[in-house]
Amino acid sequence: MLCDDFSQVAHPLLFPSSSTPPAANTRMIWLPTALSLLVATTSSLLYRSMKQKTLSQRFRLNLIISCAWLSELAQTIIALSGLLNAVIAILLSPELNTCIGFVEIPPWIATSVLCVGIISTHALAILAIDHLDALIHSSPGRCKHEVRPFMLTRAAASTKERERERERERKRERERERERERERGGGSVIP
């Protein structure tokens, strides 16, 4: 049997409008992915630019951690969106048919190709973010895993610990200075 009208066999959740060509309705699948990719890329660029700003160390570090977490969240949304779209295509559109020319493709083949295409696209989007981060790095030998949030959180903790240690050292130095002042004052003869 030849496939005359794709909209008649496509699932309404994926292509809700039978009067509109299916390609016009695919934005409901790809729009969240595009927005997530935009958020991830923007946060990554913001992370790189913040490293060059002359802000206070604590504020800059907190901002960098927030940007890294935002990038991780966006990449997670991209991956989950691909998985969800694949599940929808498998479970909710078993009658999905696609025609290439005048040759009818069985529903399970069309669904499998759709799932592979969606997951591959999301995987390529995540890889694009990784490569973008690598290109923006100042030194070519560094890679994306250096900006993972847990590493930044650990770096923030060590930085705060070093600040506390310097503060304790300054207090000890002030105490020693006061002690020397008291010793000099006690040894002098008051007329």
Let me know: does 70 contact 46? Beta carbons within 8 Å: no
Q: The tokens of 4 are what?
A: 């005359």
**pLDDT the model gives residue 72:** 65
2 versus 81: the higher-pLDDT residue is 81
pTM of the model: 0.28
Mean pLDDT (the chain) is 60
Transcribe 108-127 into DSSP letters.
HHHHHHHHHHHHHHHHHHHH
Let me know: does 135 contact 48? Beta carbons within 8 Å: no
76 versus 166: the higher-pLDDT residue is 166
pLDDT at 185 exceeding the cut of 80: no
